[in-house]
Structure formats: structure tokens, C-alpha cells
Amino acid sequence: MIIKDSHIPIYFQLEMEIKEIVKGLNPGDPISSEREFSEKYDISRMTVRQAINNLVNEGILVRKRGKGTFVAEQKVEQPLSGLTSFSEDMRSRGLKPLTKILSFQQISSDKNIAAKLKIAEGVPVYEVSRLRLADESPMALEISYLPANIITDLTEDTVYASLYEYIENELNLQISHATQTLESSLAQKSECSILQIEEGDPVLLIERFSYLQNGEAFEYVKSIYRGDRYKFVIDMKR
Ligand code: 16G
């Protein structure tokens, strides 16, 4: 119910109203159009738009161009305290990790990759590009570079499953620590169809350098995470 002479702004009352409606719906379900809300509550479309914009910004609703407004998928909350793999992260949330291999090849490291992995230029590395999915929904695009003399005998089957499991259980190497950076960005055209998002949608660019117990870098990964599906959680102590 919307009370027009209340001191609570109408757009805010409508936000509360829509939040209640969303509770009874599932992710991906459509909600009424701006026109329908404006007629139902007898309020201006501008006010409806403001409420919907706020809920889109809060990650509760999602707009799909030319299709309407829908209930958003819940974001995956990822703690940044431990060094975990994608497969572990998804399983710990009750989601099924899936991988689509976009490319897999051994290349000679160029100047840039050699510098990142602190190896000599020309040293062979595996370049693996993978789409990572959770319960069949695209989450992230990862391009990994792994020195072939450390991560030996890598195959498509291995990276289709879990890379970290292969390193620890098959190669018996000890993964020790990683340095990671996160920055916000906008989706490029080339990534959109793979991640099933629109050009310009928010994404997170993540770079990870991972090391073995002996201090050797065993991977350099560039990832693009869907901004609407991820929320990173950092615990801080004072
Ligand atoms: C995560 C890591 C990635 C690692 C992968 C291994 C980030 C940003 N990236 O996706 O560096 O290669 O896990 O996952 O967290 P896997 O063992 O399931 O292949």
C-alpha cells in the first residue's frame, strides 16, 4: 500500500512494496512494467523509475534491454581470506562448478608473460582460457598462464575439472599463497556473449599470481567476473 500524504517518499514506499513482491518470486522472474506499477498505485512513471533504478543498483532487480525488469540472481559472496579454487568456492555454496574450455595451448612465453611469472622469455607456458559456470550460469572468464616445466603434462581433461586438485593431488605440489588485485571495469563486446551479459555491464577484473611452497610462481591468471553475480567479503581486524 502506498500512502501519498506520508512523510516517507513515495519512491521509497514503492521500493518496500516491490521488495515484498520479490520475496514471493524466483530469480529470473519478470516484475510488472513501469506502466503497470504507475497505474496500479496511481503514481507517476518517473517515481516508479526511481524506485526500480534504486533496486537495480541494490542488485535486487536486473534490467534486460528490450525485455523488461527481472528478479536478479543472488550474488555469490566470496571471502578474500583464504586461497581457494573456483571449484572449492562453488561447492562450498552448494553450487555445481562447471567449466567450458575456450582454448588450450602451449606457447612460448612472450616478454609480458615471462615478466609476470618471473621466467625467461621463450620458456613454454600453457595458456588456458576457461569459462567458469555455477549451476550452468556463467560466472567468470579466466585466462591462465602456467609454466609447463612446473605444471607438467597438463591436458584439457585436467583443466576441465579442477586445476588446483591436479596440482595438489596428481603433481603433489604444495600451493602456498597468492597475490590478487581487483578492479572494476565494464564488459567489452568480445566477452558479452560468453558471459551472457551486455556490453558495458559492470565486471570485476581480477589478476592472481599464485606461488608454491618453494616460492616459485606457478600461475598468472587474468579473470573477468560478472559484477552482478559476485560480492567479495573482507574481514578486517583493528
Ligand atoms: C580461481 C582462481 C584461479 C584459479 C582457479 C582454480 C580467482 C580470481 N581465481 O578461479 O586463479 O586458477 O580458481 O580453480 O579466484 P579450479 O581448481 O577449479 O580449476
CATH number of 29's domain: 1.10.10.10
| Interval 113-156: pLDDT, tens | 999 999 999 999 999 999 999 998 999 999 999 999 999 999 99
Distance CA 105, CA 122 (A): 14
Say how many C-beta atoms besides its own lie within 10 A of residue 57's C-beta. 9
Give the DSSP letter of residue 75. Answer: P
| 56 and 166 housed in the same domain | no
What is the reported pLDDT for 57?
86
Ligand 1 binding pocket includes 139 (Cβ within 6 Å): no
Give the atom of ligand 1 at the shortest distance from the alpha carbon of 161: 19
| 21 and 121 housed in the same domain | no
| 200 and 122 housed in the same domain | yes
Does residue 215 belong to any structural domain of this protein? yes
| 92 and 210 housed in the same domain | yes
Does residue 5 belong to any structural domain of this protein? no
| Interval 51-85: pLDDT, tens | 999 999 888 999 888 899 999 988 888 888 899 99
Q: Domain count for the chain, please give it.
A: 2
Give the atom of ligand 1 at the shortest distance from the alpha carbon of 130: 19
Distance CA 46, CA 11 (A): 9
Does residue 2 belong to any structural domain of this protein? no
Q: How far is CA 46 from its chain centroid?
A: 32
CA distances from 201 to 62, 64, 137, 187 (A): 11, 11, 16, 5
Query: What average pLDDT score do residues 157-168 get?
Result: 96
| 107 and 25 housed in the same domain | no
Does residue 238 belong to any structural domain of this protein? no
Structural domain that includes position 191: 76-233
| Interval 27-52: pLDDT, tens | 999 999 999 999 999 999 999 999 99
What is the reported pLDDT for 93?
87
Q: What is the model's pTM?
A: 0.83
What is the reported pLDDT for 81?
86
